[in-house]
Every structure is written in C-alpha cells, then in structure tokens.
Structure 1
Amino acid sequence: MKLKSWVRFAAPVVAALSVAVLAQPAQAAIRIGWRPTVLPLPSGGSSGFLTGSNGKGEYTGTFTISGVQTVVSWRNGQPVVRGVPSGYEAALAEDENPAGVVVGTAHDYDTMISRAYTLDATGFHVKDVPAGYESVYGVAINTRGDVLGRARRFSGGTESDAAVLWRVEGSAPVLIPSTQDTYYARDLDEDGAILFDSGNSSALWKDGVVRHLSPSPASQAWGYAIRNGVVVGTRIWGGVEQAVRWASPDAAAVGLAGGGRALSVNLGGLTTGLVPNPSGPVIVGNAIVWRATAPGEVRAPSGYSTFEASVAADDGSLAGFATNGSRDSGGVPVVWRLTP
C-alpha cells in the first residue's frame, strides 16, 4: 500500500483517474506538474510525515504535537488528532487502506516495548506480541484488512526477527522467521503476498512459497513497495542508485528515468519516488513521479527547499512533507494533485 516513511524512529472514479493518468503521453508527463498544497497543522503541531491515504482525499501520518509523536489524519482538508494508545508514549502511523484503517506502531519508552496497532473509527486496537518475541512493529495493511508486522526479540545479546501476518478473518497470526530470503519485510500486497529484502535482491512470500525478483541486468536491486503485483524500488546502476519498476514478479526490472528511488505505487501504477543527488550531502533529492515509466514533475511547495512524496494515493494524488531542515525530522504535511 505504500512506503512508507524511511527509518524515522530510532530503534508506497479511483481506478478511472489512475488509469487516465497513465494514459498521458511521456511529453505531457514532463510538462504537466503535480501542484502542492500545504495542509494545516493541528494546534501545537510541528514536523512529521504523511505516510498513508484512503485514496479518497484523506491522509494520515505522524506529527509531533506538544513534544509527543502522535497520529494525525486530515479529513476534508482539516487535521484530526487521533492521539496515542492508552499506556504508550508515542504512536507512529505507517499505512492506511481504502476503508480508512490505519496501521502503525505504539512505543513505551520506559519499558522499551513496541506494539503494532490498527486504528479505525472506534479507536486503537493494539496487537498482541507473538509468543517468544518482545516487540512487534506495524508495517502495512492491504485493502481487505490483512496486517503486516515485524516481530523482534533479544536473547543472550542476539537479535531474532520474524514477519507477522494477521489475516483479516481473525485466524492465528502467521510467523515467517527471518532467513536469507525473508529477513526484512517491506510491504504487503492485496493478495496477502509479502515483499521481503532478500540479500542483494527482493523476494515475495505467499502461503509459504518464495519467489525471487530478478535484479537483472543489475547485480543488486530491492523492492520497497508492491501493489497488485507491481513492485517499485531501487537498483545499483553505474555505481549509483536508480529507481526501478517490476511490472510483475516475473518481469525484468525496468529503470525509471530521472529517479534514484521509487517509494510507493498506487492501484493504477502511478509511482512516486526521489531524484538522485550524487553530488550533495545526501544521496537522494526531492520528489519525482512516474505514470507507468514516464516521468512527471512534482513541484516544490513555495518557501521550501526539500520535499518528499512517499505516498502515491489511489485518487492520483501524492502525499508527503516539505522542510528547510533535515528530511530525517520530516516537515509540514503536503499533498500534490495533478493540474494543467
């Protein structure tokens, strides 16, 4: 559904619009830009990240309010403070599905315990930690409501990880222990397939079967987000990062012109990412968008030098943040829409 934000905490008429966007020729993609709107912050709010959307003009993210990392949603363009689960000191939002259900992680700094949660109209629902593990982090949610998490434990100074899949029908959670093929869970597809980092490439796990994504013709490539079998991410190409797209799990990787990393892909294949910045203090720059493989322009919000769109929403909008400081701290919430 998303990507989600990068590692931010110390410790990716709906189909009609999306298809219409894809139908534009490459030349128009460069001329027509996604224009930004800076969303209002709630009282006491400061920097943060938009990380999810229901694809119907509503967005959710994590923003600091009076010193507390808090879940905030924007409904009808206005911020709604969703808060933090009782007994926890911070809550980070990671994804949101078309029903408006949010998934993320709640943190207790005193005990150093983290728990995955879902958040819907009735409030927070904190997930149990799987037996034998100490913490679990929320990662992604798909349209039908399956939830992906990462479980972690420390024993004798050794860390052990596993992916956790909570299926919407309420069956026992599925644990996928970390192996060479499945050592870091990135995203969850609509059919329940999980996108994993797998050494110098990526793999898909579904019902116990692992399929590898080929990095060829590069030697290293990783997927960061998946939607309906389309995977987007990055590869090492000519010694630098290049954004890349797999049209299906069995397809060859295709470079996305002008991009360093692809972060999120929507239902119609609209992809958002970051341009490369090999000569700067960081290796990636500002936002870029692709309609299939044709690049488009993401325009800078007035007064801001750095901007990142990490969510490609199903209504064809993009969501992220803008700042004049470090991107690691996020910034003001921004939504981009395609306008002539």
Structure 2
Amino acid sequence: MSGVSLARAATVAALIGTVVGTGLAAPASAAPNPVCTWQAQAVAAPAGLDPQYASVTGADGLGGYSGYYAPNSGDITLLRWTGGVPARLAPPAGVNWVFPRGENRSGTILVDGMNTATGAKQVFTLSRSGSYHSLPVPAGLTNPTGAAINNRGDVVASARRSSDDRNVVLLWEALSTGSGPRVLDLPEASFPTAADLDEDGAVLVSGGYEVFVWRDGVTTRLPEPTGAVVGRAISDGLVIGTSYGSSARSYVWDSRGGKVAYPERGRTAEGVNRNGLIAGERVDGPASVWQGSTFLAELPALDGRPGRPHLVADDGSVFGETFEPGSVPVQWSCR
C-alpha cells in the first residue's frame, strides 16, 4: 500500500489529483524486540542532489526501498535504494512524467506514468530487472491512478468512468486468467477511491471521508468511529487510519473480526505492517509506533529535527521525513 509524506505526496501528485497511499508487501517476521532502541538515519539522495526533494514510497521488506526525487511536480525521477544507495531509474518509453506508488517483496514497483504532451495516463509495473509492463484499462475509463501492489502481484488503482463521471476501483489479479482488471463500482461508497491492497486481495477503499474493505465480492464499512474518516493502509486484515471529529484520533480496525481499537493517545496512523506495527503521531505531537493499539515508543528526532512517519515495511523499518527546519527523508530502525 497507499507510498513521501502524505502532505508532500499530495503536492507532487496534484498533477493527477490523488494522494499517495502505501503498498507494502512482505512475509511476516518476528515482532519488534521490546528491548531494542529506535534510531533515526537520513535516507541518501543521489550524489550531488538536495535530499529535501527525495522521498520513499515503497519497500520490499528485505532492506530495499524505492521512491522518487522531485524538485518540482513536473520533474520526477524514480529511485531505487539498494544497501541504502540510491539509483536512478529510467521512465517507460513514451512517458515523461512518472510517480511511484508502492513496491512488493519481489522488488516490483507500481508506477503511474503520463505523456504530458497528449495527457495519456497509464499504470505500470516495473520489475527489479528494469522491465516495464503496462496494465490494461477497459474502454470508457479514464485517469487511471495506481494505489498499491501486493506480494503475489495483484494491483489496485482508481479510475473515472466517462459515462457518468463516477470513480471506480480497478483490481488486476495476478492469478486471474483474464487480461483485464476487475472493475469494482462499490455503490455503498459516495466516492470510491483505492487506498491500499492486502495480501489476500482485500481492497481498502477510502474516499469522501468514508472507509470500506472489499473482500471476495463483499463490501464492509468501517463500523466506528462515525463521522469523517480516512483509511491509510491495510495489512493482514488490519486497517489503520484517522478520524476527524471534534479532534483527530487514530484507529485500528480488524476488518475480518470487526473490532475497532484506538491506539493509545494516537492522533494519526499512517502505516502498518503484517506484524501489526503501526506508525503515526501522538496527540501531543511526537512521531511514534504502536503494536496494535499498545504504545511502544516515540521515534527519535534526526539531528534535532522531529519527523513524520508514513510507511512501515515488514522488516520493521519505518520511513518518513523530518520537518522544522527543512524536510529530508528519514528511516527509523529498532536495534
């Protein structure tokens, strides 16, 4: 799932009108060591480039991660980090604007692409070896926008239906014998927008301040809290997000069992992995991690600069960015 802070991603992705989600995929590993110490380190930008314009949007859960370098919304370079060292990736043929949306365990990156001269948009997967594959979009649908890719290669995206100008969700199933995606209309949702994708193919849908999970043809609405809510990520059935009532607070929803819990003093929840490790911010400000709804630790500042997390990899790494003063990408690890 949806990769970049949400604020930075919203600015960069304004060209295609969507907020990045996070698409994480990796096998479960041991739960975080309760006696380890969280440490912050800067994520390197390509040599000679200003790190404030780099962001991480996906991780393979095995130590590798991917993202972009963007000094402005029209100039975006795809990046892949191996051993902490970034490499620039070429865009697909015929495309001059790209944006990464997530990465799975095999190192396949989900990429939005556009030819700005024609306005034609496509959704691609990019293999670790460097091969692009364009995902087919049914006739009558426009503005495809990727959201997440899972381990087995399923991809979820959003699109606009020309006949009635309504949003729909597209699900390309890697194990399907068909060449095109499944089109999910979700009449229960006023503005269905793909947010993330679980390993079992369950789709997190969050749009119009509503949250749903589509699983095996059944759509289930977040049972609580009521009011304006957003869903950020889903992993192993757990959905995390934020409620914007009289004051913001985070929630974690077991979408299989139905139970909703509230992370201790959690204000936002931005990322979750298959072990239930959640990253977000507390009501009193600091970036923090929880195990389910149980508070674990505050995430340390990098060189005195606090951070905002947005992505949790299945190896337990947390990615985000610093602020006040200046924004640079940061990785937190518990050792």
Residues 124, 45 of structure 1: alpha-carbon distance in 2 compared, 3 angstrom cutoff = farther
Structure 1 counterpart of 2:310, which letter? Answer: S
Deviation of residue 220 (structure 1)?
A: 4.4
Encode CA deviations 1:176-199: one digit per residue, 9 max, x unaligned: 125343712211111111111266
More contact order relative to length (CA 8 Å, sep ≥ 6):
1
Q: Mind listing any 5+ residue stretches in structure 2 that lack a counterpart?
A: none
Residues 4, 212 of structure 1: alpha-carbon distance in 2 compared, 3 angstrom cutoff = farther
Aligned to 2:171: 165
Q: How many residues were matched structurally?
A: 314
Equivalent residue for 2:68, pick from 43, 54, 62: 62
- In the alignment, is the contact (CA less than 8 A) between 2:69 and 2:79 conserved in 1? yes
**Match runs of 1:298-317 below 5 Å:** 298-305=299-306, 307-317=307-317
- In the alignment, is the contact (CA less than 8 A) between 2:4 and 2:321 conserved in 1? no
Residues 4, 69 of structure 1: alpha-carbon distance in 2 compared, 3 angstrom cutoff = closer
Aligned to 1:336: 332
- In the alignment, is the contact (CA less than 8 A) between 1:72 and 1:83 conserved in 2? no
Residues 251, 206 of structure 1: alpha-carbon distance in 2 compared, 3 angstrom cutoff = closer
- In the alignment, is the contact (CA less than 8 A) between 1:242 and 1:276 conserved in 2? yes
The share of aligned pairs that are identical, in percent, is 30
Residues 15, 127 of structure 1: alpha-carbon distance in 2 compared, 3 angstrom cutoff = closer
Give me the whole-angstrom Cα distance separating, in 1, the residues matched to 2:266 and 2:257.
22
Give me the whole-angstrom Cα distance separating, in 2, the residues matched to 1:80 and 1:50.
13
CA RMSD in angstroms comes to 2.7
Equivalent residue for 1:78, pick from 78, 85, 88: 85
Deviation of residue 309 (structure 1)?
A: 1.7
Aligned to 1:40: 44
Give me the whole-angstrom Cα distance separating, in 2, the residues matched to 1:325 and 1:134.
40
Counterpart secondary structure, 1:15: coil
Encode CA deviations 1:214-261: one digit per residue, 9 max, x unaligned: 114x44443221011111111245x11101111344333211123222
Aligned to 1:111: 118
User: If each structure's strand is expressed as a fraction of its own residues, which one has the higher value?
Assistant: 1
Encode CA deviations 1:271-322: one digit per residue, 9 max, x unaligned: 1123347xxxxxxx553211222221111111535x2221111111111222
Give me the whole-angstrom Cα distance separating, in 1, the residues matched to 2:261 and 2:3.
19
Equivalent residue for 1:270, pick from 277, 299, 303: 277
- In the alignment, is the contact (CA less than 8 A) between 2:286 and 2:298 conserved in 1? no
Counterpart secondary structure, 2:28: helix
**Match runs of 1:1-340 below 5 Å:** 1=1, 6=6, 7-8=10-11, 9-10=13-14, 11=17, 12=22, 15-17=28-30, 19-21=31-33, 24=34, 33-46=37-50, 47-64=53-70, 68-120=75-127, 121-153=129-161, 159-169=165-175, 171=178, 172-177=180-185, 179-181=187-189, 183-197=192-206, 201-216=210-225, 218-236=226-244, 239-276=246-283, 287-295=287-295, 296-305=297-306, 307-324=307-324, 331-339=327-335
Give me the whole-angstrom Cα distance separating, in 1, the residues matched to 2:47 and 2:160.
35
Counterpart secondary structure, 1:110: coil
Aligned to 1:281: none
Give me the whole-angstrom Cα distance separating, in 2, the residues matched to 1:99 and 1:54.
7
Residues 258, 313 of structure 1: alpha-carbon distance in 2 compared, 3 angstrom cutoff = same
Deviation of residue 112 (structure 1)?
A: 2.6
TM-score, with structure 1 as normaliser: 0.83
- In the alignment, is the contact (CA less than 8 A) between 1:45 and 1:65 conserved in 2? no
Q: Mind listing any 5+ residue stretches in structure 1 that lack a counterpart?
A: 278-284
Deviation of residue 98 (structure 1)?
A: 1.0
Deviation of residue 133 (structure 1)?
A: 1.6
Give me the whole-angstrom Cα distance separating, in 2, the residues matched to 1:318 and 1:111.
38
